[in-house]
Structure formats: C-alpha cells, structure tokens
Amino acid sequence: MKIILKTPDMNFKLPIILPASLIKFFIRFGGKMAKKYVTEEEALIYINSIDWDALSNAFDELKRYKGLELVNIQSHDGTYVRIII
C-alpha cells in the first residue's frame, strides 16, 4: 500500500509494507483499545457502530487487487492525495 500526499510546499510518500495478517491484527487490536480508552459518549457511538471483523475481512479481499487506486483527490489549491493498494 502506498500513500502519496502532495501540497504546494511538500511532497510526501509513505509506503506501507506489512503482511495482511499483521494489518488485520492491528485493526482488531485497535478496535478493542479504542473501545477501552475512549471516554466521550459521542465518539463511543461511532466506534461501537464499526464492524471490526468485517473491516478485517475487507483487507483479505483488497490484497487480491494489487495496484488498485482507492483514493485519488485533487483540490484547487494544489493538494493531492492518492492511496494505492
């Protein structure tokens, strides 16, 4: 997965080289930690509405589509965001 962020002032590329199993672990672990440590009631409503298992399984499907462009956004001020699997 690559995350590319370009602004008029900077150019930033972040390659994420992790196995899918490790990403799935971080998703499930992050969901449990978020539920445990978030105290704001409004934020907890959003955290509890996420199906963490479905999100984890979505990464299994996404690894089949290497090179797929998930996000490609350009604004009028020259900011550019791109996320590629």
- Give the separation between CA 1 and CA 68, rounded to whole angstroms: 9
Contact partners, residue 64, CB within 8 Å, separation at least 6: none
User: What total number of domains does the chain contain?
Assistant: 1
Q: Over 80: is that where the pLDDT of 8 sits?
A: yes
From 21, 19, 5, select the one nearest 74 (Cα to Cα). Answer: 5
Based on its alpha-carbon atoms, the radius of gyration of the chain, rounded to whole angstroms, reads 16
From 23, 21, 19, select the one nearest 31 (Cα to Cα). Answer: 23
Tens of pLDDT along 16-25? 777 777 878 8
The dihedral region occupied by 11, where left means phi > 0, alpha psi between -120 and 50, and beta the remainder, is: beta
Tens of pLDDT along 32-45? 888 888 888 888 88
Q: Can you give the residue range of the structural domain that contains 40?
A: 2-84
pTM: predicted TM-score of the whole model, two decimal places? 0.57
Tens of pLDDT along 48-72? 888 888 888 887 788 888 888 988 9
The predicted pLDDT at position 22 comes to 83
The predicted pLDDT at position 73 comes to 92
